[in-house]
Amino acid sequence: MFLTIVTQYSSKLAKIFGKSSGANGKLKVIFHDFPGGAEGFELMLRFCYNNGKSNITPSNLLLAHCAAEYMEMNESVTNVSNLLDQTEKSLQGINFWTWSEILIGLKQCQNLLVDDSCVMLEKCLDTIVGRLVLASEASPCPSTCSNDSSSGIRFSCDSKSTESIKTNFARSTWWFEDLLFLTPLVVAMLVKSMLSSKMDHHVISRFLLYYQKAKFSTAMTDEKCKIIEMVIDMHYIMDRSSVSLKTLFGILRVTLCLNISKCGRNKLENMIGFQLDQVTLDNLLVPSPYGINYLYDVNLVLRFLKAFLRQGTGAVAPIRMKKVASLIDLYIAEIAPDPCLKTSKFLALATSIPDFARDSCDELYHAMDMYLEVHTQLSQEEKLKICCGLNYEKLSPQACLHLSKNKKFPSKSAVQALISEQSKLKNLLHATTTPISTPYNESLCGSSSASQKGKKDKTSEQLVLYAGNFDIQPDNEKLRAHLQGMQWRVMELEKICRKMQTQMAKMTKSKASGHSYAKSLPKLCS
């Protein structure tokens, strides 16, 4: 009796029992992967014993559909539609379901472990997204009102009370709590459907953060990793403008104590790196991972910088590059006193910024000064490597003067700073003398000649750039003051150069090497 009733509706059972007709009624069939387990099997039997009639509701529709697919119930009997056709017909009315009925169906789809539920799941998700889009259009979030809106909308937004804004915000987020039962996999499917439907990215981002915070309270470590990776992946495919740096650094702080995948971590670091010009120094002061002696995570900042530079200099505006250069110089100055910071890491940060991005290297010089003050054990070779990241041409006269007296720096760096300053002074004097009249040139040449004759033998051992009294027309008062200032700096540099020659002669250990260096130094300063 049982076989007769069931096999006429299920092609799968008909095939099984048809092949084993000689088993004398002793055949035993076990379905280990039946959709919905006992509940799904019972639903299928009710359909068979009620002569193809069943009470299909949103609460059992998806379960019945999966059971019909599994049991191959796709053939009609005596003018009675098969179970598969009935469920598909009922599914066409999903747009008329209530919100709670859609959620019930969605829970069933999520719990079913068969491939057939994926199609049903997509239909449920699309229906939910459609409802949310309609709701957002009916009551838009107040954040969408901008200064570019029409005067009527602008007046409405500006005149809203705090309570009214809170109410509108609640209208755009009322569904957050209802969808917390979803798994990270289903949430990812939901968000992709939202994005394809042009739903507000800011609202989607808030939902993801709400979901993460709510689920983390009860989730185990492995579950937390899956959740945060899903949140990162979804933010990565959204508009960059919709994801604030505050949000990204909040996610970063969460990942510090989790062992998430390398792919997920790279996506997060790239999102932050793309906006590095908007980052503050406090954002970059991330503690080092466990087992690293550095005070701050220097490698993380280097990866941020690499992601920013990967966009290409053509895609990055010069003003953005200069902001990043200023930020990195501040960061270098902050980490320089760290006694555990290796020279290679310090130099990697100093040289990672393109030279054109820095208008001045004074900040970088001060950072190097602090680093050398703390790391007194460095060899001359290591100190020279650090100084390689310094562009002496971009040091101010004050920084050059400080460097020339700084015993922490190699003597070669001090000489290079003086040479650089001398070159800048020569170029400036040459540029300023070109448009001046002939009497000025003659006066300049005459004073220079007199100066050279008066010094005689000393001129071969010191820097001579004295320019006498300038004969400048009355309407060039600014130029007069500038050149007088330049004269004073030149004379100061002459004194410094003479002192350096004396000190270098005393410090020479080998006569041969000392003699050759003493000869080459005046040439460098000339």
pLDDT confidence of 442, banded at 50, 70, 90? very low
**Alpha-carbon gap, residue 399 to 282, rounded angstroms:** 27
Evaluate the CA torsion angle 402, 403, 405, 408 in order and state its sign.
positive
In our burial notation (b when 16+ CB lie closer than 10 A, e otherwise), range 175-214 reads bbeebeebebebbbbbbebbbeeebbbbbbbbbbbebbee
pLDDT confidence of 158, banded at 50, 70, 90? very low
pLDDT confidence of 139, banded at 50, 70, 90? low
Q: Name the H helices within 238-361.
A: 245-255, 262-274, 281-284, 298-309, 318-335, 343-352
Task: Provide the pLDDT for residue 50.
Answer: 81
Task: Tell me what the mean pLDDT of segment 383-411 comes to.
Answer: 88
**Alpha-carbon gap, residue 380 to 368, rounded angstroms:** 14
Residues 423-435: tens digit of each pLDDT? 777 776 666 555 4
What does each C-alpha distance from 59 to 41, 49, 98, 119, 293 come to in angstroms? 15, 20, 11, 17, 58
Residues 329-344: tens digit of each pLDDT? 999 999 999 999 999 9
Q: Which two tokens stand for residue 219?
A: 């989730």
Which of 252, 184, 238 has the alpha carbon at shortest distance from 215?
184
Task: Provide the pLDDT for residue 72.
Answer: 83
Q: Which helix (H) or strand (E) holds 496?
A: helix 477-507
Q: Decide if 279 contacts 320 (C-beta within 8 A).
A: no
pLDDT confidence of 26, banded at 50, 70, 90? low
pLDDT at 412 exceeding the cut of 50: yes
**Is the model more confident about 351 or about 73?**
351
Residues in Cβ contact with 87 at an 8 Å cutoff, skipping those fewer than 6 apart: 56, 61, 64, 65, 68
The radius of gyration computed from the CA coordinates of the chain, to the nearest angstrom, equals 39
pLDDT at 186 exceeding the cut of 90: yes
Judge if pTM exceeds 0.85: no
Residues 16-25: tens digit of each pLDDT? 777 655 555 5
Which of 289, 316, 293 has the alpha carbon at shortest distance from 305?
316
Q: Beta partners for 287? A: 296
The identity of residue 513, as a single letter, is: S
Calculate the CA 393 to chain-centre distance.
33
pLDDT confidence of 486, banded at 50, 70, 90? low
pLDDT confidence of 460, banded at 50, 70, 90? very low
Q: Decide if 228 contacts 258 (C-beta within 8 A).
A: yes
pLDDT confidence of 462, banded at 50, 70, 90? very low
**Alpha-carbon gap, residue 470 to 465, rounded angstroms:** 14
**Is the model more confident about 231 or about 407?**
231
Residue 329 burial by Cβ neighbours in a 10 Å radius (0-12, 13-18, 19+): buried
Weakest mean pLDDT among 41-45, 125-129, 316-320? 41-45
pLDDT at 35 exceeding the cut of 60: yes
User: Which range, 80-94, 257-271, 487-501, is most confident?
Assistant: 257-271
What does each C-alpha distance from 147 to 128, 150, 155, 203 come to in angstroms? 32, 8, 10, 20
Task: Provide the pLDDT for residue 431.
Answer: 61
pLDDT at 458 exceeding the cut of 60: no
Task: Provide the pLDDT for residue 252.
Answer: 96
Q: Beta partners for 27? A: none
Task: Tell me what the mean pLDDT of segment 314-322 comes to.
Answer: 87
Task: Tell me what the mean pLDDT of segment 209-233 comes to.
Answer: 96
Task: Provide the pLDDT for residue 524.
Answer: 42
Residues 277-297: tens digit of each pLDDT? 999 999 999 999 888 888 999
The identity of residue 137, as a single letter, is: E
Task: Tell me what the mean pLDDT of segment 384-391 comes to.
Answer: 90
Kindly report the average pLDDT of the chain as a whole number: 78
In our burial notation (b when 16+ CB lie closer than 10 A, e otherwise), range 19-30 reads eeeeeeeeeeee
pLDDT at 372 exceeding the cut of 70: yes
The identity of residue 40, as a single letter, is: G
pLDDT at 441 exceeding the cut of 70: no
Q: What percent of the chain has pLDDT over 70?
A: 71
**Is the model more confident about 12 or about 452?**
12
Residues in Cβ contact with 516 at an 8 Å cutoff, skipping those fewer than 6 apart: none
Q: Which two tokens stand for residue 75?
A: 């053939």
Task: Provide the pLDDT for residue 118.
Answer: 74
**Alpha-carbon gap, residue 319 to 338, rounded angstroms:** 30
pLDDT confidence of 61, banded at 50, 70, 90? confident
Task: Provide the pLDDT for residue 293.
Answer: 85
pLDDT at 413 exceeding the cut of 80: yes
**Alpha-carbon gap, residue 429 to 39, rounded angstroms:** 95
Residue 276 burial by Cβ neighbours in a 10 Å radius (0-12, 13-18, 19+): buried
- DSSP classification of residue 287: B
**Alpha-carbon gap, residue 386 to 351, rounded angstroms:** 9
pLDDT at 381 exceeding the cut of 80: yes
Which of 248, 249, 247 has the alpha carbon at shortest distance from 286?
249
Task: Tell me what the mean pLDDT of segment 336-357 comes to.
Answer: 93
